[in-house]
């Protein structure tokens, strides 16, 4: 049995979190005729911009590293409001995907929603394969925002 835990992000996690972010951009970057250095610089700039945005907009959020058996495996960013638990970001690095870890993390959030009478919501890109997982767990599409779909779970 694997152990899945979350802990607050520290400055020592920056290189790992950059790797997590880069893993979300691999497919689209593979199609570009850029050098590896150009791709790395693009990822660095995008990661920095996203990190600033998340910390500015979701200042009250919980920013955590997901650990599996004590090893960093991903990130989980959540904002708990009065009526909704918003999943800002949930990402596992490729070697930890498809092993039930994301489902476990989501089930924990759904239980928090159930026990507190709150909805749980997430924005997901239409083409994101994780969308199927959200649907299986009972999330439903409630709005479209550009390339993102707002999905919500209600108990």
Q: What is the pLDDT of residues 45-58, one digit of tens each?
A: 999 999 999 999 99
pLDDT at residue 23, rounded to an integer? 94
Query: Given the structure tokens 């596992």, which residue do they identify?
Result: 92
Ranges of residues in the chain with a pLDDT under 50 are none
Looking at residue 28, what is its pLDDT? Answer: 87
| Cβ-count burial 60-77 (b if 16+ within 10 Å, e if not) | ebebbbbebeeebbbbbb
Domain boundaries, the chain: 4-153
User: How confident is the model at residue 143, as a pLDDT?
Assistant: 95
pLDDT of residue 137: 96
Count the neighbouring beta carbons within 10 Å of the beta carbon of residue 6: 17
How much is the pLDDT for 139? Answer: 98
**Does domain 4-153 sit in CATH 3.40.630.30?**
yes
Q: What is the pLDDT of residue 103?
A: 95
pTM over 0.75: yes
């Amino acid at each position: 049995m694997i152990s899945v835990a979350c802990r607050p992000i520290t400055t020592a996690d920056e290189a790992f979190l950059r790797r997590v972010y880069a893993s979300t951009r691999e497919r689209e970057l593979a199609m570009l005729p850029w050098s590896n250095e150009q791709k790395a610089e693009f990822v660095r700039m995008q990661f920095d911009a996203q990190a600033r945005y998340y910390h500015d907009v979701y200042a009250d959020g919980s920013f955590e590293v997901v650990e599996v058996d004590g090893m960093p495996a991903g990130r989980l960013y959540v904002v708990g409001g009065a009526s909704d638990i918003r999943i800002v970001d949930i990402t596992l690095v490729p070697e930890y995907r498809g092993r039930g870890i994301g489902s476990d993390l989501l089930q924990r959030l759904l239980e928090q929603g159930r026990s507190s009478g709150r909805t749980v919501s997430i924005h997901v890109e239409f083409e994101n394969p994780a969308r199927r997982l959200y649907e299986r767990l009972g999330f439903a599409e409630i709005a479209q925002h550009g390339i993102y779909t707002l999905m919500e779970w209600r108990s």
